Amino acid sequence: MKGPILVVLAAGMGSRYGGLKQMDKIGKNGEVLLDYSVFDAVRSGFEKIVFIIRHDIEKDFSEQVLARMGSKVKCELAFQDADSLIPPDIFAAAQKAGRTKPWGTAHALLCAADNVDAPFTVINADDFYGREAFTVMGKHFYGSDAGTSAIVPYQLEKTLSPQGTVSRGVCEVDKGFLVSVDELTAIEKKDGRIFNTASDGSVRNLSSETPVSMNFWGFSPDILPEFQKYFDDYLKVFAADIEGQIKTECFIPKAVDYFLKQGIIKVKVLPANSDWFGVTYKEDREAAVKKIEKLTADGVYPASLW
């Protein structure tokens, strides 16, 4: 069996962050957050890293990220641009309507389909997932149920930002398997209460211990045709109501929820006891730097990763 692949979603625009957070330096030697994910993945048995980026950041990404890893990691690039995999007529109509949004994480994954020929994990570039998460996913892929999809969830309260709202996939779990995942896009904590405010103004209260998806998914490559069908259906809905759908995106958690309801996949929940942190907002960066400094001081990571 080919060793598992790590697919890193690194094409984001960073609208709330105010810049390219996937390339913002966090470590003392210029490491960015995705360096630590790649380091953890490699020592957990992952054999190849696929970075999904945009063509307009290729030069900077290669010089600031790939050059540091050198020959120590097998890396490939895939590209998610605004017109990637989008029928020309739909793309032209979207541009005319003023669409500036990317097409979402499910679209990003499809942009890397040609690079994926083995079980793979897909993660965000701007999130820190912890060594334990990669360890349990690596063991899953090298185990007898490697063909089963998997997720490493995190406790909701530990994934919030004091700077503002966040998007999280709220998970329902039963007997170690994922039942559903509901993508909520405006979760926040105020006055000791955690809640999501929907676009229609309705409010949903959430428990601090609610398991949520942080986009740490494990899949077999045979799921990719299902993602393609799902994205094709999304584009049909988009094309039928461009003005109403102009700001929508096609998310991996929403696709997984659909696959679960259709009985297309089973998703095993892998407890990892791993801490998450990220840089949703610019103000989150200082806390991330301090956490990396402590992990390095505690010997979890070497002073220089590469």
Share of the chain above pLDDT 90, in %: 75
Q: How far apart are CA 236 and CA 229, in angstroms?
A: 11
How would residue 20 be classed by pLDDT, with cut points 50, 70 and 90? low
pLDDT of residue 226 exceeding 70: yes
For 230-251, what is each residue's pLDDT tens digit? 999 999 999 999 999 999 999 9
| Structural domain contains residue 193 | no
What distances in angstroms separate CA 259 from CA 5, 113, 184, 269, one per listed residue? 22, 18, 18, 16
Looking at residue 109, which CATH number applies to its domain? 3.90.550.10
Residue 261 domain-assigned? no
- Across all residues in the chain, what is the average pLDDT? 92
pTM: 0.92
What is the mean predicted confidence (pLDDT) over 23-33?
Answer: 85
Residue 155 lies in a domain: no
The pLDDT, as a whole number, for residue 72 is 86
**Average pLDDT over every residue of 95-110:** 94
In a domain, 25, yes or no: yes
How many domains does the chain fold into? 1
Does 45 reside within a domain? yes
**pLDDT for 16:** 42
Looking at residue 17, its pLDDT comes to: 36
Lowest mean pLDDT across 7-21, 42-56, 76-90, 113-127: 7-21
Question: What's the whole-number mean pLDDT along residues 165-180?
Answer: 95
Give a yes or no: residue 217 inside a domain: yes
Contact 190, 183 (CB under 8 A): no
254 falls within a domain: no
Q: How many CB atoms lie within 10 A of CB 23?
A: 21
What pLDDT, on a 0 to 100 scale, did the predictor assign at position 21?
56
pLDDT of the residue at 22? 60
Q: What's the average model confidence in pLDDT over 157-183? A: 92
- Kindly state whether residue 114 falls inside one of the protein's structural domains: yes
In the structure, what pLDDT confidence band is assigned to residue 65 with cuts at 50, 70 and 90? Answer: confident
Tell how far CA 264 is from the center of its chain.
21
CA distance linking residue 127 with residue 142, whole number of Å = 24
Mean pLDDT of 85-91: 97
* Contact in structure between 6 and 120 (CB atoms under 8 Å): yes
**Residue 231 lies in domain:** 5-150+213-249+275-297
Start-to-end C-alpha separation, the chain: 27
